Structure 1
Amino acid sequence: MRLHRNLVFAVIDGLYEIFNEEGYADKVVQKLLKRDKRWGSRDRSFIAETVYEIVRWKRLYAEIAEVKEPYSRENLWRIFAVWATLRGISLPDWKQIVPTPTRRIKGRFDELNKIRKFRESIPDWLDELGEQELKKNWDKEINALNQQAPVILRTNTLKISRNKLRSVLEDEHIDTEFIKGYPNALQLTERANVFSTQAFKDGLFEVQDASSQLVADFLDVQPGQRVIDTCAGAGGKTLHLSAILQNKGQIIAMDIYANKLKELKRRARRAGAHNIEPRVIESTKDIKKLYAKADRVLIDAPCSGLGVLSRNPDAKWKLQPEFIHNIKQTQAEILERYSKMVKPGGKLVYATCSILPSENQDQVNTFLSKEIGQDFTFIKDKKILSHQSGYDGFYMALLERKTN
């Protein structure tokens, strides 16, 4: 592979922003890709994939390069040289690239590969927490979460069948395959920009990981019901619920962030989902008004996001132990408060994209032991680990409110 100066400079600029200026990798990459209109799809792929790779393996590469944060541009060039050397890419004779001791880099890599926190490139505290909570599964799980996530589409069954969508995408030169056990999912056989397709503009699909696609089905909704999605965000699961309801009944999509609900409105228009009513949560009154009013309630709770590290590798470096401690308190409060919206005989799903039992089954068990939890019966739960499924780590629990 021949390295092109303008592409590598874009990578260095992106890394500087992510590591030193708190930039989010997805937003930074999005901005970088618009820098030069002359870049083709191969150029853009190089930038996006190289940035994500170096973000993912930051600790390992920095250790080999013998540089410490905050990283100067010179440090970032050294890290880039490690990345290139380990991939067998010949380094050009540019003034930014200091002579690179190839043999020493490879020797150091072999040495550090024996220590999990370096091999999997994670902070010490996260390695300790993962081992404490997942025990013997941690090794395999963190390794799986360091792989590049596949691109999965969810068929919008309000507009098209999965078989028909597959052939429509084929006409646009996007090849996909079915995934066993995921009735609406298509997996790309090769990465491509699906957002530029006519099929996407026509609202025939959404990009949504396979594990996430299981949540709406888990809620057991029936057409005509009133469903509340309490932490709807931009509405990935809300739109799926709308499709299962066949646009019948009502979905109240709630969130504390108005801008996310605005995005949901836009997506709903494209998807042809007409039974969604977005509502911003401005005070506890907005919740209380809906006590005992819903047939189904989805609590897709805010969480550590550790189950989706494969698509958000920069989260490893932004997450802090205090955040996880605080988010658990938030989860407990949300579960207690929002569960009151379920009417007697109705059902509730508590879900997270975390792999930590303390955010998942432990939260559900604690809730069931409280006074409000006495009104609910535990039906079933599903724990999804990335190394077993090949997709995001996820958790979902189904509870039913007693009628007496």
Structure 2
Amino acid sequence: MRLHRNLVFAVIDTLHSIFNEDKYADKEISKTLKRDKRWGSRDRGFIAETTYDIVRWKRLYEEIAEVKPPYSRPNLFRLFTVWATLKGIEIPDWKQFEDTPTRRIKGRFDELSKITKYRESIPDWLDELGNKELGKLWDKEISALNEQAQVVLRTNTHQTTPKKLQQILDEEFIATKTLKDYPEALELYERADVFKTEAFKKGLFEVQDASSQKIAHVMDLKPGMRVIDTCAGAGGKSLHISALLENKGQVIAMDIYGNKLKELKRRAKRAGAHNIETREIDSTKVIKKLHHSADRVLIDAPCSGLGVLRRNPDAKWKLNPEFIEKIKKTQEDILKEYSKMVKPGGKLIYATCSILPSENQDQIQKFLLTPEGENFELEQDEKILAHKSGYDGFYYSVLSNSKQ
């Protein structure tokens, strides 16, 4: 593989924004990819995948390169050199790459790979927390979370079927496979920019990980129900719920961020999901008005996001223990307040994209002991670990309101 100067420089510029200016990797990569219209899909793929790789393995690479943040431009090139050397890519004869110690890089890599926090490229506190909460499973799980995530689509059954969608995507040269136990899912054999396809523009699918697609199915939905998605965000699960309700009944998609709900409205229009209504949570009155009114309430709770590190590797460097403690308090409060919207005989579904028991089953056990939780019974829950499922780490529990 031959390195091209303008592509390497684009990677270095993007890394500078992510590491030194604390910007989000996905947004910065997206911005960089729009910089030069002459770049083809292979060029854009190189920039995106190389940047994500270096973000993912930052701690390991900085240890090998003997550099520390904030990174000067020469230090960013040193990180790039480590990446290229370990990939077996020939280092070009540019002044930025003078005196590359190829042999020493490989030696240091072998040495550091024996230590989990370097091998898996994670902060000390995260390694300690993972060991404390997951014990023997932690090594396998963090290793799985460092792999590149597959691209999984969710067929929009308002518009088409998985079989038809597969044929349509085939015509656009995108090969997919169906997934057992995930009725609407199609997984791409090779990464591709699916957002440019006609199928996407027509609203035939959404990009949604297989683990996330499980949630709407465990809600035991029937057309005509009133369902409240309390932390809807841009609405991936709301759209899935709408499809399973066959556009009958009502989906109330709520969030504290109005801009996310605007995006949901756009997506719902494209999908042909007509039974979704958005409501911004700008006061406690919004919740009170809906007390004891819903057949199903979904709390897709804010969380550490540790289960989705494969697609957000920069979260490893943005997270800290204080944030996790704070978010756990938020989860407790949300469970107590939002559960009041479940009507007698209805169900509450709590979900996170975290792998930590303290954000998941521990929160549910705690909730069931509160006055707000005393009428609920745990029907089922599932801890979805990436190293077992092959998809994102996730958790869900289904609680029924037994009060008549």
Q: Tell me, yes or no, whether TM beats 0.5.
A: yes
What is the match of residue 162 of structure 2? 162
Show the counterpart of 2:67: 67
Q: Report SS of the residue matched to 2:97.
A: coil
Other-structure match for 2:174: 174
Listed as ranges, the matches of 1:59-98 within 5 Å are: 59-98=59-98
Structure 2 CA distance, aligned partners of 1:384 and 1:161? 26
Pairing of 1:257-336 with structure 2 (within 5 A): 257-336=257-336
Name the residue aligned to 1:245. Answer: 245
Distance 1:138 1:403 in 2: 39
1:197 aligns with 197
| 1:400 counterpart SS class | strand
**Conserved? CA contact 1:7–1:47, under 8 Å:** yes
Any residues of structure 2 matched to 1:1-400 within 5 Å, and which?
1-400=1-400
| Paired residues of 1:174 and 1:188 also in contact (CA < 8 A) | yes
| Separation in 1, partners of 2:91, 2:137 | 38
2:380 alignment partner, SS class? strand
Secondary structure, aligned partner of 1:212: helix
Stretch of structure 1 that moved more, 213-222 or 297-306:
213-222
Alignment partner, residue 401 of structure 2: 401
Contact 1:178 1:187 in 2 (8 A): yes
**2:94, 2:284 → 1: CA distance?**
59
User: In the aligned structure 1, how far is the partner of 2:39 from the partner of 2:356?
Assistant: 41
Give the letter aligned to residue 115 of structure 2.
I
Q: Which segments of 5 or more consecutive residues in structure 2 lack a partner in the other structure? A: none
Q: Give the AA of the match of 1:47.
A: I
Alpha carbons 1:250, 1:275 under 8 Å: kept: yes
In the alignment, the residues of structure 2 paired with residue 126 and residue 368 of structure 1 have an alpha-carbon distance, to the nearest angstrom, of 28
TM-score scaled to structure 1, two decimals? 1.00
How far does residue 6 in structure 1 lie from its aligned partner after superposition?
0.2
Which amino acid in 2 is paired with 1:120?
A: E
Secondary structure class of the residue paired with 1:88 = coil
CA distance in 2, matches of 1:361, 1:58: 32
Structure 1 CA distance for aligned equivalents of residues 94 and 398 of structure 2: 58
- The AA in structure 1 aligned to 2:350 is Y
SS state at 1:69 partner: coil
Q: Distance in 2 between matches of 1:239 and 1:205?
A: 10
Conserved? CA contact 1:301–1:350, under 8 Å: yes
Aligned-residue offset at 1:387: 0.1
- State the Cα deviation string for residues 154-199 of structure 1 (Å, max 9, x = none): 0000110100000000000000001111110000000000000000
Amino acid at match of 2:51: V
Query: SS state of the match for residue 317, structure 2?
Result: helix
Q: State the SS of the aligned residue for 2:183.
A: coil
SS at match of 2:379: strand
Q: How far 1:98 sits from its partner (Å)?
A: 2.5
- Please provide the CA RMSD for this pair: 0.5
List alignment gaps of at least 5 residues for structure 1: none
In the TM superposition, residue 292 of structure 1 has moved relative to its aligned partner by 0.2
Is the 8 Å Cα contact of residues 215 and 396 (structure 1) preserved in structure 2? yes
> What is the letter of the counterpart of residue 367 of structure 1?
F
Give the aligned residue type for 2:185: A
Distance 1:239 1:185 in 2: 14
One-letter identity of the residue aligned with 2:130: G
Name the % identity: 72
User: C-alpha deviations, 1:240-272, integer Å up to 9, x for none?
Assistant: 000000000001000000000000000000000
Deviation at residue 221 of structure 1 after TM alignment: 1.2
CA shift at 1:371, angstroms? 1.0
Q: Report the number of matched residues.
A: 404
1:220 shift after superposition? 1.1
Deviation by residue 1:317-340 (Cα, 9 ceiling, x = unmatched): 000110000000000000000000
Instruction: Using the TM superposition, give the Cα deviation of residue 59 of structure 1 relative to its aligned residue in structure 2, in angstroms.
Output: 0.2
Q: Secondary structure at the match of 1:153?
A: strand
8 Å contact kept, 1:78–1:98: no
